[in-house]
Amino acid sequence: MHVPDGFLDVPTSVGTALVAATGVGLALRGARRELDDRTAPLAGLVAAFVFAAQMLNFPVGAGTSGHLLGGALAAVLVGPWTATLSIAVVLLVQGLLFADGGLTALGTNITLMGLVGVWTGWLVFRGVQSLLPKRVSMVVPAAAVAALVSVPVAALAFTGLYAVGGQAPIPLDRLATAMLGWHTLIGLGEAAITGLVVSAVVAVRPDLVHGARRVLATRKLVVVGRDRDDDQVAA
Amino acid sequence: MRRVSTRALVVTGLLITLVLAGVVSFYASSHPDGLNHVAEKVGFSGTAQPHASDGSPLSGYATRGVSDQRLSRGVAGVVGVVVVGLLFGGLTWALRRRRSDERASAATVLDTTETGAPERERDGSSAVARERDGSTSMGR
């Protein structure tokens, strides 16, 4: 979903650049709360993985392909603020080094994938998680649903931006339908990859998964009580 | 499944990532992605302008000067993974809360709450609190 230069007019691109800059600024502060000595190495890996996964276009039929956006994945693994930063860095490198995603559209792309994609993914994840049993294993389906929803929502956000500042006079209803249709299919791939990766990390190190913190907290307490039986009795 | 160390997780993940970018990426679909496909069908792909970085050494995920396509894309992918990993790894490393900060804040928590256990339950940070305890009581 990398928007090239020229799809959106200058005012809209300036607007999205301001939104993106504000979002990244807030994320620089917010990420401090998510990152510590334990989780920082995973964050670097997640950004590198998202870059790699975005090279892996999978076919979605009729001469079209899609690739992981990675917003929901990163948000669940390392937290939404860190995820926003990671997607922004991936997009910056892609734009500067690989000519993927226009440079004047960098703000648009960060807005769509780093803000809309990440935060839709995170909010849906939290919503689904609150409906499911409070178990660590439930992090995986919640992440998959979040990933599925995040892609068409980001596609709709693009449609909204095009309605404001698109450079070609096109029927917006057709644009919305086409964007939504294709990106729901791509969302299925997004859900599959996200579910796979999250389940792999949850299997070996659930304590590093940001989205598992809430459900782990209660379980860990039991362990703490057992470990420190003497302390607890004495207290 | 067996718990692995953070180092083992990151090293394994990085190897998988490098293989994905360096090898598997060659087999990726070359069809236009959802947005570009829609742009063609709905009829606004024509307004796209050439990229400012077109012609740069790695533009289009191809390495200039490497004629073998498999190698060309693989090198570009590996370079991208390394650049992103270093950039973002450095950024997160700079932003992270240091363990010394945590020790200080853990000490404050213990000072103010005596036993600590009920407080931890309320703020839900028991996992972190436990590790803090571990690191402080490990007798540094």
pLDDT tens per residue, range A108-141:
999 999 999 999 999 999 999 999 999 999 999 9
Q: Does residue A55 form part of some domain?
A: yes
How many domains does chain B fold into? 2
Pair (B82, B60) in one structural domain: yes
Query: Given a cut of 90, is residue A217 above it in pLDDT?
Result: no
**Mean pLDDT, rounded, for A227-232:** 48
Do residues B125 and B81 both lie within one domain?
Answer: no
Q: Is A219 a domain residue?
A: yes
Q: Tally C-beta pairs within 8 A across A and B.
A: 265
Query: Is B12 domain-assigned?
Result: yes
Do B9 and A208 count as a contact with CB atoms less than 8 A apart?
yes
Which residue of chain B is at minimal alpha-carbon distance from A34?
B96
Range of the domain at A36: 10-234
Torsional class of A52: left (φ above 0), alpha (ψ -120 to 50), beta (otherwise): alpha
Number of structural domains (chain A) is 1
Q: Please indicate whether, in this complex, the C-beta atoms of A45 and B17 are within 8 angstroms of each other.
A: yes
Q: Are A77 and A84 in contact (CB under 8 A)?
A: no
Tell whether A4 is covered by a domain.
no
Q: What's the CA gap between A144 and A163, in Å, rounded? A: 30
Contact A217 B124 (CB under 8 A): yes
Residue B47 falls inside a structural domain: no
pLDDT at B121: 42
The verdict on B75 and B123 lying in the same domain is: no
Q: Are residues B72 and B132 in the same domain?
A: no
Interchain contact A232–B (C-beta under 8 A): yes
Domain that holds residue B89: 6-30+52-95
C-alpha count within 13 angstroms, C-beta hemisphere, residue A139: 28
Whether the CB of A224 is below 8 Å from some CB of chain B: the reply is: yes
A233 has a pLDDT exceeding 50 = no
Residues B62 and B115 in one domain: no
**Res. A11 pLDDT band, cuts 50 70 90:** very high
Of A43, A52, A64, the CB nearest to B21: A52
pLDDT digits (tens, 9 = 90+) for A133-169: 999 999 999 999 999 999 999 999 999 999 999 999 9
Pair B89, B61 in one domain? yes
Nearest-Cα distance to chain B for A220, in Å, is 6
B10 and B60 together in one domain: yes
CA of B91 to nearest chain A CA: how many angstroms apart? 8
Q: Which residues of chain A does B44 touch, with a Cβ-Cβ cutoff of 8 Å?
A: 7, 162, 166-168, 170, 175
B127 and B85 in a common domain: no
CB contact (8 A) between residue A179 and residue B38: yes
CATH code at A214?
A: 1.10.1760.20
- Residue A1 in any domain: the answer is no
Q: How far apart are CA B65 and CA B95, in angstroms?
A: 38
Q: Do residue B62 and residue B82 come from a single domain?
A: yes
Picking from A113, A45, A201, the residue whose alpha carbon sits closest to that of residue B82 is: A45
pLDDT band of residue A87 (cuts 50, 70, 90) is: very high
Domain boundary among B80, B95, B110: B95
The answer on B103 and B74 residing in a single domain is: no
Burial B81-91 (b: 16+ CB within 10 A, else e): bbbbbebbbeb
Interchain CB contact of A221 with B (< 8 Å): yes
Of B28, B44, B96, nearest to A40 by CB-CB distance is B96
Q: Which residue of B has its CA nearest to A182?
A: B34
Strand partners, A61: A64
Residue A144: both structure tokens together: 């998959």
| Higher-pLDDT residue of B118, A153 | A153
pLDDT for res A79: 97
Contact B39 A7 (CB under 8 A): yes
Cβ separation of A4 and B48 shorter than 8 Å? yes
CA distances from B125 to A130, B54, B117, B120 (A): 18, 48, 10, 6
Q: CB distance from A6 to chain B under 8 Å?
A: yes
One domain for residues B10 and B59: yes
B78 is a domain residue = yes
Residues 71 to 130 of A: which have CB under 8 A from any B CB? 82, 85-86, 89-90, 93-100, 102-103
pLDDT of B116 strictly over 80: no
B118 lies in the same domain as B69 = no
